[in-house]
């Protein structure tokens, strides 16, 4: 059985974020985020695990890099949508726009790695996301701080790109050793209080 591959959007966004935050260290990280992997669109799980392991040793730069990468991934994901679809989403009433934006966010998560998936619920101006299979949170020892900032930043930026104001909060992170997945709470501060189906289709 072939090894699962990491999606291009994750590889490219991490590469760009490292170049922004730690330009003097980029050559080191390109031992794994190499040109052939970037051109081909994917790298394997082992090289990405190595990159994330070394990034966690960079101190505060880890969070800055992963959140910046999440923002890039969101922008590139939304930009990849057909122009007509983007325009249609932007003119939808707010409740429907939120649902469509969350679908785009779920697509982003699925495209980062085949083993990652997001269960989303939306009700009364609040959304919850249960993320399973976060590659950022695969650690041997529990972390005192959440490590899933990539996904929090990505989801927040997707919503922002569709003119949805939201406050993201990491409720639980699998890296802390508390549960199987990571959980985010999203307060949709500009959306009206409208009942919508609880599960995003």
The answer to whether residue 196 sits within a structural domain is no
pLDDT at 153 over 50: yes
Domain assignment present for residue 101? The answer is: yes
Lowest average pLDDT, out of 27-31, 107-111, 152-156, 197-201, goes to 197-201
What is the pairing mode between strands 117-123 and 126-132? antiparallel
- On the question of pLDDT at 81 being above 70, the answer is yes
pLDDT at 1: 40
CA distance 51 to 169: 25
For 107-136, the pLDDT digits (tens) are 999 999 888 889 999 888 889 999 988 889
The yes-or-no verdict on residue 167 having pLDDT over 70 is yes
Is 197 domain-assigned?
no
- On whether residue 194 sits in a domain, the answer given is no
Residue 3, pLDDT score: 56
Question: Does a structural domain hold residue 183?
Answer: yes
pTM (whole model) above 0.85: yes
In a domain, 65, yes or no: yes
Provide the number of structural domains found in the chain: 1
What is the model's pLDDT at position 178? 67
Q: Report yes or no: 127 and 120 within 8 Å, Cβ to Cβ.
A: yes
pLDDT band, residue 35 (cuts 50/70/90): low
Lowest mean pLDDT, pick from 34-43, 91-100, 169-178 = 34-43
| In a domain? residue 61 | yes
Assign 3-class secondary structure to the chain. CCCCEECHHHHHHHHHHHHHHCHHHHHHHCCCCCHHHHHHCCEEHHHHHHHHHHHHCCCCHHHHHHHHHHHHHHHHHHHHCCHHHHHHHHHCCHHHHHHHHHHHHHHHHHHHCCCCEEEEEEECCEEEEEEECCHHHCCCCCCCCCCCHHHHHHHHHHHHHCCCCCEEEEEECHHHCCCCCEEEEEECCCCCCCCCCCECC
Residue 193: pLDDT above 80? Answer: no
Other CB atoms within a 10 A radius of the CB of residue 130 amount to 17
CATH assignment of the domain containing 155: 3.90.1520.10
Q: Is residue 82 part of a domain?
A: yes
Q: How many CB atoms lie within 10 A of CB 94?
A: 16
Domain that holds residue 96: 5-187
């Amino acid at each position: 059985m072939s090894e699962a591959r990491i999606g291009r959007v994750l590889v490219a966004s991490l590469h760009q974020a490292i170049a922004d935050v730690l330009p003097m260290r980029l050559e080191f990280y390109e031992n794994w985020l190499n040109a052939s992997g970037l051109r081909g669109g994917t790298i394997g799980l082992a090289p990405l695990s190595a990159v994330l392991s070394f990034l966690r040793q960079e101190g505060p730069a880890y969070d800055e890099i992963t959140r910046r990468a999440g923002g890039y991934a969101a922008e590139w994901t939304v930009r990849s949508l057909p122009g007509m679809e983007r325009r249609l989403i932007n003119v939808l009433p707010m409740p429907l726009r939120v649902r469509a934006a969350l679908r785009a966010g779920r697509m982003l998560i699925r495209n980062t790695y085949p083993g990652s998936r997001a269960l989303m619920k939306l009700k009364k101006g609040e959304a919850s996301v249960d993320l399973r299979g976060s590659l950022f949170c695969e650690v041997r020892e529990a972390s005192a701080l959440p490590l899933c900032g990539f996904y929090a930043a990505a989801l927040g930026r997707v919503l922002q790109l569709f003119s949805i104001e939201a406050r993201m909060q990491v409720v639980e992170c699998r890296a802390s050793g508390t549960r199987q997945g990571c959980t985010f709470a999203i307060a949709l501060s500009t959306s009206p209080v409208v009942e919508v189906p609880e599960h995003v289709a």
